Amino acid sequence: MVKVAVLQFPGSNCDLDTLYVLRNVIKLDAELVWHREFKANVYDAVVLPGGFSYGDALRAGVIAAYSPAMKHVKEMAREGKPVLGICNGFQILVEAGILPGALVRNDTLTFICKWVYLRLENNKTVFTWKGKVGQVLAMPIAHNEGKYFNDEKGLKELYENEQVVFRYSNINGEVTPEANPNGSLDNIAGICNVERNVLGLMPHPERAAEVILSPYRTKDGLLIFEAMAEFLRGKGVATSRWS
Amino acid sequence: MPLLGGVEVSLAEEEIRKVREILGREPNAVEAGMIDVMWSEHCSYKSSKIVLKQLPKEGERVVVGPGYDAGVVDIGGGYVAVFKIESHNHPSALDPYNGAATGIGGIVRDILCMGARPIALLDSLRFGPLKSSHSKWLLRYVVKGIGDYGNCIGIPTVAGEIEFDESFERNCLVNVVCVGVARRDEIVLARADRPGDLVLLVGGATGRDGIHGVTFASRSLTENSEEDRPAVQVGDPFTKKLLIEATLEAIKTGFIRGLKDLGGGGLTCASSEMAYKGRRGMEIDVSKVHLRETGMTPFEIMLSESQERMLFIVDPAGIDKVTAIMDKYELQWSIIGRVIEEEEIVVKANGEIVARLPTKILADPPTINREAKKPAYLDELLKIEPPPMPSDLSLTLMNLLSSENIASKEWVYRQYDHEVGIRSVVKCGDGDAAVLRILGEDKGIAVASDCNSKHCYLDPYHGGAGAVAEACRNIVSVGAEPVAIVDCLNFGNPEKPEIFWQFKMAVQGIADMCRALSIPCVGGNVSFYNDDEVTGKAVKPSPVVVSLGVVEPLSSIVTMPFKEPGDEVLIVGETFRELGGSEYYYTIHGIEGGKPPIVRFEQERKTLEFVLEAARRGLLKAAHDCSKGGIAVSLAVMSIKSGLGADVDVAAIPAEEMRLDELLFSESHSRFIISTSNEMAEECFKLARKHHVTLSSIGRVKDDGIFLLRFKGEKSLLCKVDDIIEAWKKGFERRMGWG
């Protein structure tokens, strides 16, 4: 049976939430793994949960990015195993250079917790192959530093390689400045690596995986976890087809 | 300040005599410092203890009542809910960011040290009006302090309330609440009762910060209070998060016999209270304590209020296992002593005894019987002539909706992570109470905090009772059954008889309401000296009440927004001419007096029982209690939340004889607005008759975008729904600005 790790750093705080969804909602064999004990070869996929690893000291995600555990995450990414970074997990993946760009302070200069809409831009990834391009998903965000940034060249590459996976939109899927909660470049909310097996996003799919938690009675966050689970169980499409 | 043991203490001359009498000798400096802290109002409750005795503490569901760090109630299915409220007023008035942040840190430790996982935070805040830049500064940084700390430790801030009034201008009130859940058999008590057990100090290193924090909290703010800034502690949420996980993991080993957090009074308070509860003593070697600074004296170590520390009483057989867990989380720890047979606290430094005191003198100081006298201002304030009727009631409603006390507090809760933990079923602003599910069960905890300080000022007895009533109304309006309360009693200087009278009356009101509803008070906090020596003014009396309820199944949850056009709108309860202390008088007319609402105890109980049964039977599509701003504001908010209009006939509202504006804005208790489908309305009436509750159909939910109140054939109040949405949503933000 496939095994998924939820990687815990000191200060991770969405670890138990993510584990709950993987185990109780998706019915995957998942476990919490303390960063010191994490080994790439034991797991088929890894989720880097949200939180404040190392208290956001220096810069969100930067200390965790240099931890030995991230060498194992890199190895898994290289091997084509699914790697999902949510919120602080996304920040860590970016700081570790596994995903391109940077996540900087929100334009409001405050923490923002609210439900937003996301437009799915790329359904040719391990985590989104079950969705349709243009599909609108409702999920909450909760972050201080979620404004995606990249330079002109970097942004061009992102689009050329179809790495933009989610953008903040309105309920109709229109990507407008009003729908951008934090000032992200081009409303970018989530991106993948060139090989499409690593996804990082600021919104929290684990908080949107059950109808009872959604103000809209939706469970759009499930899409990401279900796609990963079916991929792991061999039902999904091989990544090689997408590159 | 007078001297005891050669050091300055904040005790009265009479108390100093008493210390010498009990001890039979002059204490040394370390001992005097320890006694000074433990005899402070903050630690000893010396002025309030006698009055607090009348609060009902018993109940079928009570597992742990007052006297421990937090109240514990059985919520069925083998689970308990643990909750507590605490004030951090003085520190927040001086240093709003760190004051509020460490308030969160402290209340989280109170829940944690009972062995429960903290799952939610609430904040109950009071400031001066926002036209003052000082108030804006306080609010901005209190919110940031709570947000930064709570968000980092991964505990959602799910509800709260904010009031604005001139009396809080220099003395803001920052009360914070934490709720936890545990399996009933996981509860740990703050007790040291087995000699030989080890005393393990875990977490932040001890420094010189916060020394005399409690004595600072036990006197009035003065123009020199800025000098007390070092008494404000600095929090470290990252260490706290590790401490939470390590503590919960350590409890699972079964070797933890007692647990207490280090808050006010530091090591002195934690050690003496645990030993006293266990009828034992404790020996502590301060040279073993891990320190942040060099050269600290035993006096400083025993009194430091450095944050993020917990004291564990550990079975020696399990000490290696427990410390290995602390090592995993990279937390510092030191074994600083052991539990002893003799009922005394023995403090050693480098092999020498530096203090030896009976636990009783520390943990059970003598109480004081304070004088109480009804203030002269009250009778004058009640006799106020009614103000003129406004010519445009629509405009009056818009002004109320955009007022700082009533407008949406989204500006605040946007900055709080209110979703982490995946338990937030009813979220900020969607119901009168927050609802948190119990993971894996079809059951939830509802929680709400309330206090109307303007009502309390005019009538502290009914104000206190009203705080309990409103908090419980908020619980039933989401479909939950209230099971217990905790309170935070914020008052001025208790040495002034008028202030002590307010305190006594408010507590009596709380106690009587609890008895009428058969709800116990399982814990609380008293904060005195919330007054300003420069202006001589005290805060309006603010007995904040937190009610906790249980809702099951989760499908019986009711929320505030109207649901569908055509639904019938009904009012539960009767309206009386009670406008004293109302938002309408304050915001529209600038009046402070008048006859405030009184609580009709029996009617309140019946009303709560009716709404709860209606919710459980699935008869309610929406529910909202009537409080600040009265019927007009309650109806408007239900419209705003849904985007739907309403057409209401005001003449159908059961009420005593009064003017239209009074009917719309009176803040009488025991009232709800509910909406239901046409088919279920008849059932609602039947149920109301059974409970002997007044219920009246007053209108319908509409989809025409108009909020309309008719009176005797006239369109007395007519607003576009979009306009009232704008007024309510932007009212607060406009004052604060984003960022």
Per-residue pLDDT band at A241 (split at 50, 70, 90)? low
In this structure, are strands B645-649 and B706-711 parallel, antiparallel, or unpaired?
Answer: parallel
Q: How far is CA B472 from the centre of its chain?
A: 14
The encoded tokens of residue B439 equal 């993971």
Residue B263 pLDDT greater than 90, yes or no: no
Cα–Cα distance, B391 to B281 (Å, whole number): 71
Cα–Cα distance, B533 to B223 (Å, whole number): 8
Query: pLDDT tens, A36-87?
Result: 999 999 999 999 999 999 999 989 999 999 999 999 999 999 999 999 999 9
Burial class (CB in 10 A: 0-12, 13-18, 19+), B194: middle
Of the candidates A214, A217, A196, which has an alpha carbon nearest to the alpha carbon of residue A205? A214
Report chain B's mean pLDDT, rounded to a whole number. 95
Sign of CA dihedral A205, A211, A217, A218: positive
Per-residue pLDDT band at B739 (split at 50, 70, 90)? very low
**Mean per-residue pLDDT, A208-237:** 92
Of the candidates B641, B635, B640, B654, which has an alpha carbon nearest to the alpha carbon of residue B716? B635
Per-residue pLDDT band at B589 (split at 50, 70, 90)? very high
pLDDT at B533: 73
Same domain, B299 and B384: no
DSSP secondary structure string for all residues of B10-23 = ---HHHHHHHHHHH
pLDDT at B535: 80
**Mean per-residue pLDDT, B202-230:** 74
Listed in order, strand segments (DSSP E) in B528-679 are 531-532, 537-538, 542-551, 568-572, 622-625, 645-649, 672-676
Per-residue pLDDT band at A227 (split at 50, 70, 90)? very high
Q: Is B589 left (phi over 0), alpha (psi -120 to 50) or beta?
A: alpha
Same domain, B587 and B707: yes
Nearest to B414 among A51, A54, A114 (CB): A114
Residue pair B443/B551 in contact (Cβ under 8 Å)? The answer is yes
Instruction: Output DSSP code: residue B384.
Output: P
Q: What's the gap in Å between the CA of A7 and the closest CA on chain B?
A: 15
Q: What's the gap in Å between the CA of A21 and the closest CA on chain B?
A: 9
- The helix/strand/coil state of B652 is helix
Nearest to A112 among B144, B239, B414 (CB): B414
ipTM field: 0.95
Instruction: Output DSSP code: residue B291.
Output: B
Same domain, B355 and B388: no
In the block, residue with structure tokens 């410092």: B33
Residue pair B736/B411 in contact (Cβ under 8 Å)? The answer is yes
Distance set, CA A154 to CA A50, A59, A100, A119 (Å) = 25, 21, 8, 21
Q: B-chain residues within 8 Å CB-CB of A138?
A: none
Per-residue pLDDT band at B1 (split at 50, 70, 90)? confident
Residue pair B266/B273 in contact (Cβ under 8 Å)? The answer is no
Burial class (CB in 10 A: 0-12, 13-18, 19+), B177: buried
**Contact B559/A at CB under 8 A:** no
Same domain, B275 and B394: no
Cα–Cα distance, B451 to B448 (Å, whole number): 10
Alpha helices, DSSP H, located in B13-132: 13-23, 29-38, 41-44, 49-52, 89-94, 96-112
pLDDT at A170: 98
Phi then psi dihedrals of residue A238, to 5 deg: -65, 145
Of the candidates B563, B469, B448, B572, which has an alpha carbon nearest to the alpha carbon of residue B514? B469
> What's the length of chain B?
739
Cα–Cα distance, A24 to B514 (Å, whole number): 40
Q: B-chain residues within 8 Å CB-CB of A112?
A: 414-415
**Mean per-residue pLDDT, B141-152:** 97
Alpha-carbon torsion angle B560, B564, B570, B575, nearest 10:
50
Alpha-carbon torsion angle B728, B729, B734, B735, nearest 10:
60
Could you tell me which residues come within 8 angstroms of residue B663 by beta carbon, excluding any fewer than 6 positions away?
B575, B631, B650, B653, B655
**Contact B329/A at CB under 8 A:** yes
Cα–Cα distance, B600 to B604 (Å, whole number): 6
pLDDT at B646: 98
Query: Is residue B448 included in any domain, yes or no?
Result: no
Of the candidates B7, B67, B77, which has an alpha carbon nearest to the alpha carbon of residue B36? B7
**Mean per-residue pLDDT, B692-710:** 98
Of the candidates B411, B425, B732, which has an alpha carbon nearest to the alpha carbon of residue A112? B411
Residue A220 pLDDT greater than 60, yes or no: yes
Amino acid at A171: I
Could you tell me which residues come within 8 angstroms of residue B395 by beta carbon, excluding any fewer than 6 positions away?
none
Boundary residue ending a domain (B331, B365, B399): B365
Same domain, B236 and B337: yes
pLDDT at B229: 59
Q: Which of residues 215-234 of A touch B (CB under 8 A)?
A: 215
Alpha-carbon torsion angle B726, B729, B732, B738, nearest 10:
-100
Angle between helices B319-328 and B237-251 (to 10 degrees): 150
**Mean per-residue pLDDT, A198-218:** 97
Nearest to B420 among A11, A14, A56 (CB): A14
What is the number of helices (H) and of strands (E) in chain A?
A: 6, 11
Residue pair B41/B34 in contact (Cβ under 8 Å)? The answer is no
Q: What's the gap in Å between the CA of A108 and the closest CA on chain B?
A: 5
**Contact A62/B at CB under 8 A:** no
**Contact B328/A at CB under 8 A:** yes
Inter-chain CB pairs, A–B, below 8 Å: 89
Per cent of chain B over pLDDT 90 is: 91
Cα–Cα distance, A18 to B263 (Å, whole number): 33
Number of domains forming the structure of chain B? 2
pLDDT at A240: 47
Per-residue pLDDT band at B231 (split at 50, 70, 90)? low
Alpha helices, DSSP H, located in B278-376: 298-303, 319-328, 359-363
Q: Measured at the alpha carbon of residue B154, what is the angle toward residues B410 and B94, in degrees to the nearest 5?
A: 65
Residue pair B305/B266 in contact (Cβ under 8 Å)? The answer is yes
Closest residue in chain A to residue B153, using alpha carbons only: A13
Of the candidates B222, B205, B208, which has an alpha carbon nearest to the alpha carbon of residue B171? B222
Cα–Cα distance, A88 to B441 (Å, whole number): 29
- The helix/strand/coil state of B328 is helix
Cα–Cα distance, B232 to B95 (Å, whole number): 7
Query: pLDDT tens, B718-735?
Result: 999 999 999 999 999 899
Cα–Cα distance, B530 to B128 (Å, whole number): 13
Same domain, B394 and B295: no
Amino acid at A226: E
Same domain, B398 and B355: no
Q: CB A157: neighbour CB atoms within 10 A?
A: 15
In the block, residue with structure tokens 């009762």: B193
pLDDT at A237: 56
Q: B-chain residues within 8 Å CB-CB of A57?
A: 238
**Greater model confidence, A138 or A236:** A138
Residue pair B204/B236 in contact (Cβ under 8 Å)? The answer is yes
Query: Is residue B354 included in any domain, yes or no?
Result: yes
Q: CB A162: neighbour CB atoms within 10 A?
A: 16
Q: B-chain residues within 8 Å CB-CB of A55?
A: 152, 236-239, 241
Q: Which of residues 70-99 of A touch B (CB under 8 A)?
A: none
Same domain, B718 and B665: yes
Same domain, B235 and B307: yes
Q: Which of residues 340-369 of B touch A (CB under 8 A)?
A: none
In the block, residue with structure tokens 């334009």: A107
* Sheet containing B157-164, strands listed edge to edge, beginning at the edge strand earlier in sequence: B62-64, B71-76, B79-87, B173-183, B117-127, B157-164
Of the candidates B728, B679, B722, which has an alpha carbon nearest to the alpha carbon of residue B704? B722
Q: A-chain residues within 8 Å CB-CB of B424?
A: 213
Q: Which of residues 130-159 of A touch B (CB under 8 A)?
A: 140, 142, 144
Q: Which of residues 391-430 of B touch A (CB under 8 A)?
A: 413-422, 424-425, 427, 430
How many CA atoms does the CB half-sphere of B133 hold within 13 Å?
0
Residue B39 pLDDT greater than 50, yes or no: yes
Instruction: Output DSSP code: residue B587.
Output: I
Same domain, B407 and B309: no
Residue pair A13/B154 in contact (Cβ under 8 Å)? The answer is yes
Which CATH number fits the domain that encloses residue B690? 3.90.650.10
Q: How far is CA B346 from the centre of its chain?
A: 35
What is the domain range of residue B592? 377-417+558-739
Q: B-chain residues within 8 Å CB-CB of A13?
A: 152-154, 241, 420
pLDDT at B224: 67
Cα–Cα distance, B429 to B434 (Å, whole number): 8
**Mean per-residue pLDDT, B23-36:** 96
Same domain, B643 and B735: yes
Query: pLDDT tens, B274-285?
Result: 999 999 999 999
Q: Do B154 and A20 lie within an 8 Å CB cutoff?
A: no
pLDDT at B738: 55
pLDDT at A236: 55
Residue A243 pLDDT greater than 50, yes or no: no
CATH class entry, domain A3-242: alpha beta
Per-residue pLDDT band at B234 (split at 50, 70, 90)? confident
Query: pLDDT tens, B57-101?
Result: 999 999 999 888 899 999 999 999 999 999 999 999 999 999 999
Query: Is residue B408 included in any domain, yes or no?
Result: yes
- The helix/strand/coil state of A145 is coil
Burial class (CB in 10 A: 0-12, 13-18, 19+), B150: buried
Query: pLDDT tens, A90-126?
Result: 999 999 999 999 999 999 999 999 999 999 999 999 9
Q: How far is CA B406 from the centre of its chain?
A: 19
Per-residue pLDDT band at B208 (split at 50, 70, 90)? confident
Closest residue in chain A to residue B155, using alpha carbons only: A13
Beta bridge partners of B261: B310
Residue B217 pLDDT greater than 80, yes or no: no
Nearest to B237 among A55, A204, A212 (CB): A55
Residue pair A94/A200 in contact (Cβ under 8 Å)? The answer is yes
Same domain, B312 and B197: yes
Residue B107 pLDDT greater than 60, yes or no: yes
The encoded tokens of residue A77 equal 């990414």
